[in-house]
Amino acid sequence: MIKADVLVIGSGISGLSYAIKISEKMPDAKIIIVTKADEDESNTKYAQGGLAVVTDFDNDNFQKHIDDTMRAGDGENKRDVVEMVIKEGPARFQELVDWGTRFDEKDGHLMLGREGGHTENRIVHHKDITGAEIERALLETINKSPNIEILAHHYVIDLITQHHVPGKVFDLDKIDCYGAYILDEKNKKIKKITAKITLVATGGAGHVYKNTTNPVIATGDGIAFVHRARGKVSNMQYYQFHPTALFSKRDGMLFLISEAVRGDGAKLRLKNGAKFMHKYDEREELASRDIVARAIDNELKISGDDYVGLDCRDMDHEKFIEHFPNIYQKCLDEGIDPFKQLIPVVPACHYLMGGIEIDMDGQSSIKNLFAVGECTNSGLHGANRLASNSLLEGLVFGHKAALKTIELLTENDFNFDDLKAVPEWNEEGMKMMDEMVMVSYLRRQLQEMMSDLVAIVRSNARLELAQKKQREIYEAVTELYNYSIMSPQLSELRNLVNVSYLIIKHSLQMKENKGSFYNKDLAQKPLTIA
């Protein structure tokens, strides 16, 4: 058994900034961060565009950023949350700088980018690898903190709640979290880590679909194990598809062509070079992501093509290479010269707006369990996330959750009897799985079903069929889980099945189209404006 004051699950911007804050204020607190891959592997690392924050108060202001966020979220956002996050943005951004994060400057002024849905240039960035730069700075700060321990390649199997405590009556209205059961991949053992406070910062669930911009770790783990612990999860029908991922014939993680490229002037074209965005929105390429993704999806259905083109040929070549060196190199590696030919792009699953319900301090419906970042439904994004608001959310809610955690640790009012009574993980009667092919087969089946039936454009018939197919996969996975010793692969599949169930369930409950959610049977008007 391992005891901690604070258990952090996930090593992206949310989890790391939260841990740093507590470490600085409470140097005697024992903080353990578990992450299921290498310590720097997270959705944060792959964020290209940057951080949306008001810094140029001569041309920009909080109200403009609030209005842009509300507009993108189709009014489904919680206004008090939006105002809080955006107004706290500059202070949290300054902390990143203080922790050593480098942002692009020219002549002593921040270079500000602009992305779809924003009315002003307000995206601070580090070339086109902003997330990787933030991750580097935060990990360097963490590694200087003697009271923080990072356990890499540790998979959380389930949260520990009072229903694991012998003799406890399980009350759905009063659930307490006492830590988690965690699989140490290297030693093939399931550890019990008890903690006074647990934070879930596990990122998104992109791999519930065939094609995603998310890294392979994004399997919805936090949402799934909070759901299984009977915590509240909501708005799972809102999944954002990024309009421009680099087309590949291979399924899996697709390379993202940042929104910022269109912000700097790139245009969308059909294979034959024809424009089409004017038919869908007066903002054309700078419309919000849901509109652009649906437009591309519709044009591909009409043409039968595999992809559309992103036209960068008329852009300033020098500026492009300076701002997007990583994208430029990736295109060259794939045999594409962006200054001579169209970049082939397709929409890909990108960002989940729903997730674990939290309040303004990041507290979930389960006592002593906090959640921050993409795995949450904080109310910031509403029905569709505004570009580059995700890193901002992680920072601000990481800060708020840290403050509340410090308050609770100072009070020290925890159920120590229950914490001591939590049993070890029981694998009696379980056997090693000799048919790993079953796991990979069921995972492929699930991803194909979700991509075909529950993607950018949905319908009642598709969703009802998806519900039926999902149930069949769930039963097969449950049977595997009931007799097998846990493995990372089985754990992820179990989580993806839970996530798919929630997406389908919440989609079927929708009575109107909002933001990223589009059911053609609920459509009040055609896709095109022409």
Q: At what angle do helices 488-508 and 460-483 cross, to 10 degrees?
A: 150
Cβ proximity of 206 and 350 under 8 Å: yes
Q: Is 289 considered catalytic here?
A: yes
The residues that bridge with 183 in the sheet, in sequence order, are: 155, 190
Residues near 39 by beta carbon (within 8 Å), at least 6 away in sequence:
11, 33, 139, 150, 152
The pLDDT of residue 371 is 98
Active-site entry in 92, 114, 289, 494: 289
Cβ proximity of 397 and 373 under 8 Å: yes
Q: Distance between CA 113 and CA 38 in Å, rounded?
A: 30
Q: Distance between CA 88 and CA 201 in Å, rounded?
A: 20
Number of CB atoms found within 10 A of residue 115's CB: 26
The pLDDT of residue 431 is 67
Q: Distance between CA 92 and CA 23 in Å, rounded?
A: 17
How far is residue 421 CA from its own chain's centroid? 34
Coil vs helix vs strand at 335: coil
Q: Are strands 109-110 and 105-106 parallel, antiparallel or unpaired?
A: antiparallel
The residues that bridge with 161 in the sheet, in sequence order, are: 177
Q: Distance between CA 304 and CA 254 in Å, rounded?
A: 20
Closest to 21 (Cα-Cα) out of 397, 367, 411: 397
What domains lie within the chain, and their CATH numbers?
2-48+130-237+353-421 (3.50.50.60), 242-348 (3.90.700.10), 436-485+487-521 (1.20.58.100)
Q: Distance between CA 371 and CA 383 in Å, rounded?
A: 19
* pLDDT string in tens for the chain (530-residue length): 799 999 999 999 999 999 999 999 999 999 999 999 887 776 676 677 799 999 999 999 999 999 999 999 999 999 999 999 999 999 999 999 999 999 999 998 999 988 878 999 999 999 878 889 999 999 999 999 999 999 999 999 999 998 888 888 777 788 999 999 999 999 989 999 999 999 999 999 999 999 899 988 999 999 999 999 999 999 999 999 999 999 988 877 899 998 889 989 999 999 999 999 999 999 999 888 888 999 999 999 899 999 999 999 999 999 999 989 999 999 999 999 999 999 999 999 999 999 999 999 999 999 999 999 999 999 999 999 998 999 999 999 999 999 999 999 999 999 888 888 888 887 766 666 667 889 999 999 999 999 999 999 999 999 999 999 999 999 999 999 988 888 999 999 999 999 999 999 999 999 999 999 999 999 988 888 75
Tokens of 235: 């708005």
Q: Does the pTM exceed 0.95?
A: no
Going by the DSSP 8-state scheme, the letter that residue 281 receives in this structure is -
Q: Distance between CA 515 and CA 195 in Å, rounded?
A: 38
The pLDDT of residue 417 is 86
Q: Distance between CA 220 and CA 208 in Å, rounded?
A: 8
Cβ proximity of 344 and 307 under 8 Å: yes
The pLDDT of residue 430 is 66
Q: Distance between CA 477 and CA 491 in Å, rounded?
A: 10
The pLDDT of residue 429 is 62
Q: What is the CB-side half-sphere exposure of residue 234 using CA atoms within 13 A?
A: 13
Tokens of 220: 């919805």
Residues 488-504 as b/e (b if ≥16 CB within 10 A, e otherwise) read bebbbbbbbbbbbbbbb
Residues near 144 by beta carbon (within 8 Å), at least 6 away in sequence:
none
The pLDDT of residue 43 is 66
Per DSSP, the residues of 295-357 read: HHHHHHHHH--S-EEEE-TTS-HHHHHHH-HHHHHHHHHTT--TTTSPEEEEEEEEEE--EEE
Q: Distance between CA 439 and CA 35 in Å, rounded?
A: 22
Going by the DSSP 8-state scheme, the letter that residue 294 receives in this structure is H
Cβ proximity of 388 and 115 under 8 Å: yes
Looking up tokens 């936090």 gives 222
How far is residue 429 CA from its own chain's centroid? 36
Looking up tokens 């000799």 gives 434
Looking up tokens 């949290």 gives 92
- 426 class by beta-carbon count within 10 Å (0-12 exposed, 13-18 middle, 19+ buried): exposed
